[in-house]
Amino acid sequence: MSLRIKAVVDKFVEELKEALEADMHDREMKEREMQTYIEEREREVAEREAAWKAELSRREAEIARQEARLKMEKENLEKEKSVLMGTASNQDNQDGALEITVSGEKYRCLRFAKAKK
């Protein structure tokens, strides 16, 4: 009888070891799958972050280009304005002429006429 009990106990212990090994193998597989999933998600997030940073950098560069262009246009406008406007001063000349200075050149206007449309 003790041999039968020993055989039953040995069989139980063997089945228990197999079940334990199968459980450990399943856990190991699940852990590998979870690690693979985590690595994939981290890669996806890193790719999206890199794309976002690239887009942000592109937009910042475009803004800088537009600001530089606007600054140049403003400077050019100011130059044109100073050239076109010149400086006009009403002189109390005997002939009543208006003197206009444009880019350092003096002009005298004796007669004024309304601009035609």
- Look over the chain and give the mean of its residue pLDDT values, rounded to a whole number: 85
Question: Tens of pLDDT along 27-45?
Answer: 999 999 999 999 999 999 9
Per-residue confidence (pLDDT) for residue 107, from 0 to 100: 74
Instruction: State the pTM of this model.
Output: 0.47
Residues 53/45, Cβ–Cβ less than 8 Å: no
| Rounded CA separation 35/106 (Å) | 83
Q: Is the pLDDT of residue 92 over 60?
A: no
